[in-house]
Amino acid sequence: MKILFLGIREDERPALEAWQREHPEHEVVAREEILTAATLPLLKGVQAVCLQQVISPEPEVYSALAEAGIRQLSSRTAGVDMLDLALAKQHGIVVTNVPVYSPNAIAEFVLASTLYLTRRFAQIERKNSQRDFRFAGLIGRELATLRVAVLGTGSIGLRAARLFHALGAEVVGYDPYPRPDFGEVGQYAPTLEEAVEGADVLTLHMPLLATNHHVVDAAVLARLAPGAVVINAGRGGLLDTAALLEALNSGHLSGAALDTYENEAPYYRYDWTGKDLGDAVLEELLGREDVLMTPHVAFYTDTAVQNLVTGGLDNAVLAAETGTAPTVVEPA
């Protein structure tokens, strides 16, 4: 089988080469390009596609895939909101993801980001850079005194909850699909609103669906405790950025850590050095001392990259050969 491996990064090559050695019966063609109408000629002679990208393919790509005889798309990601699942299904294309590749990677990043904000590292670093070693006004908060709201308690959310619980925090969760083992580290609230009520930390671990776009809006943010922090290492569209900025400007929130941004697609993974971003909101976020911005790298560990490459290729082969896989993602 010939597999087109799109959007390759250099750090993925060792994992790809290892997989290829273990599966010499398959040919993997790796390209840096992503799946778009302009790259459709790359599909010639291909039986399976494994991709990773944040930019959505044009609608005509799905019909072109079907015409080329390709009936699957394997995404080396957990979230697949960049793909039109309904349109893919309409053309007989199954979409797979890698839902569990390293919950530790993102959960640890969330914990580190929370500590960065609650222990005032940005302010401390700024004062140190000015040789001002006074610390009055930079008092921090201990996690054991905080209430943490975890929205979405899948593999990543549960792992984050375990880390916060281990450090003594009170953990409250919300998920339309509760899991029994969450009771080991926290308690569920019956509604999202009750979960965030009075929370000092809000961390987002939901998939992005049409039904939960901007699920964290001004009304939800207002329910958080004064001085709360918001951590989004899930999907940018879950959070109303304008409402977040208003809550920061009013002083209701003390900080935010955003590993995802709802308009990130043109920027993240690209070099914009010395260029005008053309996005006033992103410029403001990047310039704020109370906001930690990172370019969607919470997942980025050696373990996660290995598992994403291996899982993505395994899914591509299975779906191409059988028409399905355990990780097929259905339209909402």
Catalytic positions: 235, 264, 296
Residue 237 DSSP one-character state:
G
Stretch (H or E) spanning 87? helix 85-90
Report whether 246 contacts 232 (CB < 8 A): no
Task: Give the three-class secondary structure for 221.
Answer: helix
> Which DSSP state fits 220?
H
Query: Shortest CA distance to 243 belongs to which of 256, 259, 227?
Result: 256
The amino acid at residue 187 is Q
Q: How far is it, in rounded angstroms, from Cα 324 to Cα 4? A: 18
Cα-flanking dihedrals φ and ψ of residue 180, to 5°? Answer: -60, -35
With beta carbons less than 8 A apart as the criterion, state whether 261 and 293 touch: yes
